[in-house]
Structures are given as structure tokens and as C-alpha cells.
Amino acid sequence: MHLSTQSCSSTDQYTVDELPYGYGRVASYMTCDKNFLQYRRFGWLHIHTLLDLQDELQLLEEELETYHKENKGIPAKLSSRRLDYESDPSRKELIAKIRGKLREYRKWLSSWRVSLLTSD
């Protein structure tokens, strides 16, 4: 099937037919009409990455649980973030790791959701 691209101008400077064969021409052609757009979701890689991040979060969760168990006899450490951070910076460091990993996980999860919504 041959589709005419003569009337399609995907860039400010060129029509698709004016571009040499290769990625530039394919990209220009694909931008002419949203129905031409095709891309690979890399679903297996996305899910594998999400599973890996979940495992990392699980380990961080276990570390935090261990911290709470080890300090259950010290109510001030578990009920006051300020006192805990002042007396022992390890919890602050752990929470920072958790925040960063959760941020990374949310980014990947959001990316995967968008990928699912934008494909047929």
C-alpha cells in the first residue's frame, strides 16, 4: 500500500518526500498522522524493572521494620522524628533512601500506565 505524503509537511522546512530515506523520513512520516505512529512499549522490560524496584522497596521496608523492632523500648525514638534524627541519623538516611526509591517507582509505574493507555 502506498500512501501519498506530498501534502504532509511534518516539519516547518520539509515535506516527507524531500527527506532522505532513514530515521528522519520515517519520523516525519509518522508525525503526519497519529494513525501512523508506531512504537514499542518494551513491556517485558518495564515490568521487569517494576518488579526489581518492588523488591528493593521490600528490602527497605524490612530495614525500617527492623529499626522499629530494635528501638521499641525507646518510645521517644519512634514517636518523635526530630528526637530520633538528632540522636541517630541512620533512620533519617533510611527514610531518604525510601523516599528516593518510592519516587523512582512512581515514575516507572506512571510511565507504564501511560504506555498502556496510549496503545491499542
78 with 97, same domain: the answer is yes
**Residue 80 is placed in which grid cell?**
518523635
Q: Is 75 left (phi over 0), alpha (psi -120 to 50) or beta?
A: alpha
Average pLDDT over residues 101-117: 90
DSSP-assigned states of every residue in 18-42: GSPTTHHHHHHHHHH-GGG------
18 with 55, same domain: the answer is no
61 with 100, same domain: the answer is yes
60 with 34, same domain: the answer is no
More confident residue, 54 or 75: 54
Q: What is the pTM of this model?
A: 0.69
66 with 111, same domain: the answer is yes
Q: What is the residue range of 13's domain?
A: 1-38
More confident residue, 100 or 116: 100
**Residue 29 is placed in which grid cell?**
512520516
13 with 69, same domain: the answer is no
DSSP 120: -
Tally the domains of the chain: 2
Average pLDDT over residues 92-115: 93
More confident residue, 47 or 17: 47
83 with 63, same domain: the answer is yes
80 with 98, same domain: the answer is yes
26 with 56, same domain: the answer is no
Summarised one tens digit per residue, pLDDT across range 58-100 is 999 999 999 999 988 888 778 888 888 888 888 899 999 999 9
23 with 61, same domain: the answer is no
Cell match 524531500: residue? 18
Which residues touch 21 (CB under 8 Å, ≥6 apart)?
none
Mean pLDDT of the chain: 82
